[in-house]
Structure formats: C-alpha cells, structure tokens
Chains A and B, each alone.
Chain A
Amino acid sequence: MNSTIVCIVCPVSCPVDVEWTKEDGVTGIKNHLCKLANDYVASELFDPRRTVTTSMPVNGGDWPLVSVRTNPPIPKAQILEVMDEIIGVRVQAPIKVGDVLISDVLGTGCDVVATRNVKSA
C-alpha cells in the first residue's frame, strides 16, 4: 500500500510518502527531511499515539496551574479517557519539570509528568 502521512513530530510537517504492508511494515519512505519521520510514520500506521498536553490545578504554587504531558505518548484512541482521568486531580507545589504527577495513567504504561517548574508561593 502507498500512503502519504504528514509527519507531526516537528513544525516542518513533511508530507511523507510511505510504502507499507501489514506483514512487512514500512518497506519504503521518502519526502522526509529528517530521521524522526521514520519512527513516527511506522507508529502512525500500526499504533497511532499522541502526546497529550494539558494542565492541572496546583495548591500553594506561584502559578495556579502546572502544565503537563503524557510521557511517552499514549494511544490515540485513549486521549479523551486520559483527559477525564487528569481533570479533577489537584497537585501540591513545589513541582519540578519532569516530576511524575500520575504514574501509569489508566494502565497505559505512560506517566503524566510536569512540564513547568512551580515554586511554593
């Protein structure tokens, strides 16, 4: 099969032409400007995933919210479920970039980690 998949890893958004089969996976790839497209395209065909970024309310911080992301990316089909899980959880300052705020969210094997430093107010 031939598909064109827009690589979403970086803003360049290469429209990558891919040759693939269910059995052999990706057999040919062109029109990409960097290597990051290889893994993305394979994942998008057989196991589409997204990094979900959102924020969580903070108690006692110098910011009212801490921005967070899923790490590694979660299955695309579970985005809204994971959002439901994150919404409503409050966390306590101080928080550092990389702190795990929810581990193994919904059994996906992915954590929800902080992407902002929040000091105690």
Chain B
Amino acid sequence: MASPKIVDVAVIGGGPAGLAAAAEAKGAGANSVLLLERDDKVGGILNQQVHDGFGTKVFKEALTGPEYAAIYEDRVNERNVETWLNTIVTDLTDERVITVRNKGGVQTIQAGAVIIATGCRERTRGAIGTAGTRPAGVYTAGSVQNYMNVRNLAVGKKVVILGSGDIGLIMARRLTLEGAEVVCVAEILPQPSGIAGNLVRCLEDYDIPLYLNTTVSEIHGKERLTGVTLAEVGPKMGEVKGTRRFVECDTLLLSVGLIPETELAVGVGVDMHRATNGAVVDDSFRTSIPGIFSCGNVLQVHDVVDYATLESEKAGVAAAQWAMTGQLPDAKINMSAGNGLRYVLPTTISGEDAVDFTMRPWKEEHDKSVVFKSGGEVLRRLKMPHMEPAGMIRVRVAKGRFKNVIDNEITAEIED
C-alpha cells in the first residue's frame, strides 16, 4: 500500500456538521483539511430535506435544506478544503490513522486531528420488532424522503405513518402534496415526538389525524402491504385489549427515531455517553482519545440544524488548534445533569471560555428555570416558558460565571 496521505485535520462525514467543521478548521489555520464523504455529493440529509425552517438561528431566515447546505458547500470550496466523495471510512485508529475505500482502492490517511461527524441513521422495523408478514411497502420515513425528493420515485397511494418524529410529520405533508392519502399518524407515546410547529403545518393544515398511545401491532399482506392493525397501548406500553383495528393501506412509513452512527467512535474506543449514545466530549468537542473530536448528530441528535452547525464550527476550530499547536485548554470541571434533565453536554469544561450547553428534559415543563449550580451556589439561572423532550435546550453560560465554581463540579437542573 502507498504511504499514508498526511493532513492536519480530517473530517469524517460531509453533512451539515462535517461541512461546518471542515470550513472552520481551515479558517482557523489548519494548512490542510480533508473532508471524507461516502455519498456522491456533500450536504448529507439536507439534500433531501426540501422543506424550509433551516437557518433561523444562524441566518435569521427560514431556508430550505438544499439552500442551507449550498451555503456551507460554497464555504468549504472557497477555503480550499479537499473533499473526497464516494469514499467510505472503514477504520480509524487511536493514532489517527484513517483507512478509506473509494475508486482508487484502499488508502490510508494520517491526520493530526480527526473530527467524527458521521450523523445518524434511521431506526428500522427490525429495531422495533413489529409483528406480521414481510411485504413490500414498509419504509423508513427518511428513505421515502430520499426517493421522493432526490430520486423522483413515488412509493404508494394510501399511507400510514408510525411515529410522530419530525421526518414522519414532514413526510405526511409531502406525501399529501404529491397526491397520496395519509390515513393517520400513530404515536406510541402519550405525546408527539416531533416539534409543535410540525404538528401544525404538516398535520393540522391537511386534517391528518394523529393517534397518541397507539402503535402498529401487526403488518398484513403477502407481496404488497394490504394494511396494518393499530392498537392502543397502556401506560406500561402493553397493548390495551379490545382496541385492535384494521386500517387499509399500501404503504407504512416508520419514523421511530435515529441511531447515531457511532461504529467508528466505538471502534477506536472513545468513551460513550449513556444518555446520548454519542461520545463524551469536553467544551472543545474532544473525545476521551487525544486528537479525536466529535460533533453533529453522531454526538447528540439535534432538532435544529443551526445548533449542529454552531457546535461543529467550534469543533473545527478546536481541532485545527490541536493539530497545529498540540494544545487546548484543560477541561477539569465536571458537568452533571440533575433534576429534570436527561443529559447535559459537554460533560467536562475548561471554564476558560463561554460554553453553549445543550440539554434535554425528561418531560414537558412549563414556567420552570434551567439552573447551573456549583457547591450549592447558583452560577446561572434562565427562565424557560416551555420545555419538552422533543426540543433541545441550549443555554450559554459566560466565562465570568465559572469563576465561582467549587471543587470543579457543576450541576445543571430544572427548578421552579
């Protein structure tokens, strides 16, 4: 095999996170940045998300996915980031040696710093164990989005959607606009998984019913899907007897969650976070292995691309700094999620700079506050009119607030 290609920063994944990280790594002074993308185009999921709503935080306007991606693709090109398309990363070592496969065969890359920005894939029927036959016509919502919006393929005429995640809601509208009948959206939880805005503009606008506490208990059909059995579920997720009903349909879309593509991160041995299923990172987005960084949806599932972008830009700057100088501020302050919060990222911080913390609550909360405390003293309190598990909370804490940290421990929690 030829000797490895040497680069300062290698970014794995050319979606919104990878594009932003690569552009900023170059902008922050890395001499050579290599972006690795397995698809034949950069942009990732944004290429198929033709709906609008992207960019309201970063650009103060609602762009569509392709428009948002084009901005960062242009930036990467202007800054002369080298991009390898149709390239899959098969291995990453803790010495930052990357093995890739593409048309040129197998190649290796020695990177000063590596940013893992591999995003998520969709949870499938197998992952949720739905009973019944195995006919054609059962898809994940994101694949249908790709068929319809990128490849110009239609999937069916009468559709049931299981799961009220955002992609499912957006596809309910998309299928309706393209002439299919969306019979209903069924959600196993007592509350919708997607954001409230999508319930309005994707379901209510088109009178599509949403059934909560409801799941697909059986799939019917031999060659092609002929229908599904819906059933109500009780508080312990058991089926409620006598609530089964057959719904005729030729297509079932699953929008039942995203799984971070962490194979490379896990393979190289970085410490993983129990709640996010992504890596544990500090406020420079360093993982537990020196020189390996992570950002975007593989780190934590974002519901707003703007926040994935902002996070990835920071990761890009930090990776460039580490690659060029071998130095980043020591992150010795531990963060923990207290009352009401599932997690808080980053998990360690230096306290030498402001930090944008990201969190998710366990349940819907009204008129509560997010509070950062150390040694019983409040460092920062922010009133939140409305919090829900479907919405990531993002709170900036200024550098000055970390002066009063006691014993290098901070807890974030929800209070009245």
Query: Which A residues contact B (CB, under 8 angstroms)?
Result: 6-15, 31, 33, 36, 50-55, 57, 63-65, 67-69, 76, 79-80, 83, 87, 97, 115-117
Contacts and interface: CB of A to CB of B under 8 A. Distances in A.
B201 A97 contact: no
B391 A12 contact: yes
A54 B56 contact: no
B197 A6 contact: yes
B411 interface: no
A39 B63 CA distance: 17
B99 to A, nearest CB: 29
B245 to A, nearest CB: 29
Contact of B200 (A8, A11, A12, A69): A8
17 contacts: A6-B197, A8-B53, A8-B198, A10-B56, A10-B62, A10-B304, A11-B53, A11-B304, A12-B197, A15-B386, A36-B56, A53-B51, A54-B174, A55-B50, A55-B148, A69-B52, A83-B177
A115 to B, nearest CB: 4
A34 B358 CA distance: 19
B386 A8 contact: no
B149 A67 contact: yes
A6 B166 CA distance: 16
B64 A115 contact: yes
B201 A8 contact: yes
Contacts of B64: 53, 67, 69, 115
Given A10-B197, A14-B385, 16 more contacts: A6-B196, A11-B166, A13-B391, A36-B56, A52-B177, A53-B52, A53-B64, A54-B174, A55-B148, A55-B152, A64-B151, A67-B149, A115-B63, A115-B66, A115-B67, A116-B70
B115 interface: no
Contacts of A67: 50, 64-66, 149
Contact of A54 (B151, B177, B303): B177
B199 interface: yes
Contact of A51 (B52, B57, B151): B52
Contacts of B148: 55
A53 B50 contact: yes
A51 B304 CA distance: 18
Interface string B164-203: 0010000000100110000000000000000111111100
A15 B367 CA distance: 12
Contacts of A11: 53, 56, 166, 195, 197, 303-304, 391
Given A52-B177, A65-B152, A97-B66, A13 B52 contact: no
Given A52-B177, A54-B50, A65-B152, A10 B57 contact: yes
Contacts of B62: 9-10, 51
A55 B151 CA distance: 11
B416 interface: no
Contact of A76 (B53, B196, B198, B205): B205
B150 A10 contact: no
A115 B68 CA distance: 9
Contacts of A53: 50-52, 64
A15 B66 contact: no
Given A13-B391, A31-B386, A54-B50, A97 B200 contact: no
A53 to B, nearest CB: 5
B70 A97 contact: yes
